[in-house]
């Protein structure tokens, strides 16, 4: 984690009014994060809020007693990590970890809370995002319980591509397996099936989305539900691919 002078574009912040953004700007710090950086651990006070830039992805992950780790929510340039649903410094329930490194905007949680108290529209904006984040978690629970793994994997790849903004996703099959809570051998089998259908191409340490429409046909309806929920509550915030 290091400071940076590079401009970082976060869509949740960019859709704020000039007045609301002015309440936050004095407290903004721009950082570059690396894959594996932990933003906070379960039980820790959430002292900062992180707004990922384009291409940067963080996840809320939950670890179980047997060592299994699974992803509860994925956050990219459409959102924020920490201090959005709660008010002030509250202990975290899940680990927040960087999955794809890049630029982020960091704002102290106390400063963001003060800004929210000064603006009704700012409170409403972040309340809408909190609703979208909760919707993602609830949709993930339903998806994991009901849908087949090939549909879940296709959904996850589409959501990752939206946030990365590139057809190449620098993720390993092992990483995908851990995030979706399945064995690597099963992930490898499904990836080969999607590749055979012409939807993706894979190599060592990366997956390329070759035919987004084909991949969308394999995905479950959860992907579309969540996109539409964002578009309804926060127009212009969720990044989408024009080819979809």
Q: Is 191 in a helix, a strand, or coil? A: helix
Tokens describing residue 73: 């929510």
Query: Does the pLDDT value for residue 47 go beyond 70?
Result: yes
Give mean pLDDT, residues 16-38. 96
The predicted-structure confidence for 86-108, as pLDDT tens digits, reads as follows 555 577 888 899 999 999 999 99
Q: Which of 70, 76, 56 is nearest to 4 (CA)?
A: 56
> What interhelical angle do 120-146 and 149-164 show, nearest 10?
150
Beta carbons within 10 angstroms of residue 36's beta carbon: 9
What pLDDT is attached to residue 244?
45
What pLDDT is attached to residue 88?
54
> What interhelical angle do 120-146 and 109-118 show, nearest 10?
120
Half-sphere exposure of 192 (CA within 13 A, CB side): 6
What pLDDT is attached to residue 101?
93
């Amino acid at each position: 984690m290091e400071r940076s002078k590079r401009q970082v574009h976060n869509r949740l912040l960019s859709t704020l009014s000039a007045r609301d953004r002015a309440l936050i700007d004095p407290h903004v710090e721009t950082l570059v994060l690396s894959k594996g950086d932990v933003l906070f651990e379960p039980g820790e006070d959430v002292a900062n809020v992180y707004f990922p830039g384009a291409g940067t992805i963080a996840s809320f992950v939950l670890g179980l007693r047997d060592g299994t780790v699974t992803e509860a929510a994925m956050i990219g340039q459409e959102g924020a990590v920490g201090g959005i649903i709660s008010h002030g410094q509250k202990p975290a329930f899940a680990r927040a970890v960087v999955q794809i490194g890049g630029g982020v905007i960091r704002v102290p949680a106390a400063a963001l809370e003060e800004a929210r108290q000064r603006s009704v529209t700012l409170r409403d904006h972040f309340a809408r995002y909190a609703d979208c984040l909760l919707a993602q978690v609830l949709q993930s629970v339903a998806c994991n319980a009901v849908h087949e793994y090939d549909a879940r994997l296709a959904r996850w790849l589409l959501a990752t591509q939206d946030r990365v903004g590139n057809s190449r996703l620098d993720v390993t099959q092992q990483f995908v397996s851990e995030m979706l809570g399945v064995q690597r051998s099963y992930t490898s089998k499904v990836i080969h099936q999607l590749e055979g259908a012409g939807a993706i191409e894979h190599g060592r340490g990366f997956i390329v989305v070759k035919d987004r429409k084909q991949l969308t046909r394999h995905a479950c309806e959860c992907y579309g539900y969540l996109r539409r929920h964002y578009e309804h509550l926060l127009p212009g915030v969720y990044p989408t691919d024009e080819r979809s």
